[in-house]
Amino acid sequence: MDKIIIRGGNRLSGTIPISGAKNAALTLIPCALLTEEPVTLRNLPRLADIDGFQHLMGQFGTSIGIRGKRPEEFGRVVTFEASRLTSTVAPYDLVRKMRASILVLGPMLARAGEATVSLPGGCAIGNRPIDLHLKAMEALGAEIELAQGYVRAHAPDGGLPGGDYDFPVVSVGATENALMAAVLCTGTSRLTNAAREPEIVDLCNLLVAMGAEIEGIGSSNLTINGVKRLNGATYKVMPDRIEAGSYACAAAITGGEVRLEGAEANDMISSLQALRNIGVEVESDKHGVTVAANAPLKAVDLTTAPFPGLATDMQAQLMALLCKAEGTSVLTETIFENRFMHVPELNRMGANIETNGRTAVVRGVEKLTGAEVMATDLRASMSLVIAGLAAEGETQVRRLYHLDRGYERLEEKLQLVGADIERVGDD
């Protein structure tokens, strides 16, 4: 298996192009199941998770046409056409590695009246049950059965009638699934306490472009008037706010200055404010965001929360940055209960971090030291790369399949701004 080798100490300077958002793309792709017409997605990132979801779409008889195969290009233009569904089953071997696979449940149920989906896998960052997905489907009129590791869902004759659902806790994935099911219901559906993440706004905008009727986009109260059919559309995937925030942390920990070309500041307000509080200079315009670290980093207290709060997907990267800050920082994780698995690996590099339940105390250190470390999940792996960029000596990061799920050609982008980083085969 491959590993990444980082020789730390280089100050990052230059421009990094920001790719299409993984978390948005994995929600936009299953929208193609809602129509017989082609759905074309531009700016689709080249990622293992995207490839996996494309294989899953093929399971249902979806044809897939790809433009932008040249290796020097970032992103692709991909057309999905599900003119005739040949299956309504998402099998275990295609679903087990990717939690986002559950997002075919809503659109398949809405269009075909039935869906059988394996219980999903993904990062081991804590208990992420799909009960809210299933309860939302039941509120829209579906009958749900769990058997032998599969969800079996059926709509009444004549299709899902629609209904109201008040999410007991904010859930991004369940909101997305409910939205995709509701757009083809025969009646009106209302979702309250819905998630408000920019990726959900992106989903709503694509669905509206396909002919859906959705009110309250961007708010926690969504009203969906079901329509009989949806048309195809061409749509550009939003920029990846987590990728942009990750590279901002990478620039800051090296005392660098990096332009994040294509980043959308309005989608990452909490992350940018956290960086400002740490002492990083942030400027933005309609074409991107520039970050510069021209002063010592300062300790801060941070708490993750649903949007517009600080994204849980930025917690590990900010923790790595705070390892080099002056003073003591406290990070509180409110979304997932097992998202500090990167802490022992950072401590191997000389960090001083203690955890107690969902709280981590980070005492800044003068230097980090390169070491062999192992990624435990997607964002944790990026935190190790960030630490390695500032560490003395050589850092080797293993289990790259985590990184490849969410960062398009990471080492190439970091090389663009002066990092000494390479991917090599493991001996």
CATH code at position 99? 3.65.10.10
β-pair partners for 166: 192
Instruction: Report the number of distinct structural domains present in the chain.
Output: 2
Q: What is the rounded distance in angstroms from the CA atom of residue 263 to the CA atom of residue 356?
A: 34
CB within 8 Å of 51: residues ≥ 6 apart? none
Is 130 annotated to bind a ligand? Reply is yes
Is 22 annotated to bind a ligand? Reply is yes
Contact predicate 3/396, CB 8 Å: yes
Contact predicate 142/154, CB 8 Å: yes
* 143/223 same-domain check: yes
Give pTM, 2 decimals: 0.94
Contact predicate 149/116, CB 8 Å: no
Indicate the pairing of strand 352-356 with strand 328-332. unpaired
Mind telling me the catalytic residues? 123
Distance of CA 47 to the CA centre of its chain: 11
Q: What are residue 411's phi and psi, to 5 degrees? A: -65, -35
* 268/296 same-domain check: yes
CB within 8 Å of 254: residues ≥ 6 apart? 9, 10, 11, 12, 293, 389, 390
* 221/275 same-domain check: no
* 278/221 same-domain check: no
- CB pairs under 8 A, 24+ apart, for 125-131? 125/336, 125/338, 125/339, 125/341, 125/377, 126/336, 126/337, 126/338, 126/339, 127/337, 127/338, 128/99, 128/336, 130/102, 130/173, 130/174
Is 301 annotated to bind a ligand? Reply is no
* 249/210 same-domain check: no
Looking up tokens 């009129």 gives: 141
* 130/206 same-domain check: yes
* 272/412 same-domain check: yes
* 208/293 same-domain check: no
Q: Which of 217, 236, 255 is the last residue of a domain?
A: 236
Angle of helix 315-322 versus helix 269-278 axis, rounded to 10: 10
Q: Which of 200, 218, 236 is the last residue of a domain?
A: 236
Is 97 annotated to bind a ligand? Reply is no
Q: Which of 202, 221, 236 is the last residue of a domain?
A: 236
* 246/202 same-domain check: no
CB within 8 Å of 102: residues ≥ 6 apart? 95, 117, 120, 130, 133, 151, 173, 177
* 156/45 same-domain check: yes
* 248/320 same-domain check: yes
Q: What is the full per-residue pLDDT of the chain (427 aa) written as tens digits?
A: 789 999 999 999 999 999 999 999 999 999 999 999 999 999 999 998 999 999 999 999 999 999 865 655 678 999 999 999 999 999 888 887 777 889 999 999 999 999 999 887 543 433 446 889 999 999 999 999 988 888 999 999 999 999 999 999 999 999 999 999 999 999 999 999 999 999 999 999 999 999 999 999 999 999 999 999 999 999 999 999 999 999 999 999 999 999 999 999 999 999 999 999 999 999 999 999 999 999 999 999 999 999 999 999 999 999 999 999 999 999 999 987 667 889 999 999 999 999 999 999 999 999 999 999 998 888 889 999 999 999 999 999 998 888 988 899 999 999 999 999 999 986 6
* 192/46 same-domain check: yes
Range of the domain at 252: 2-15+240-425
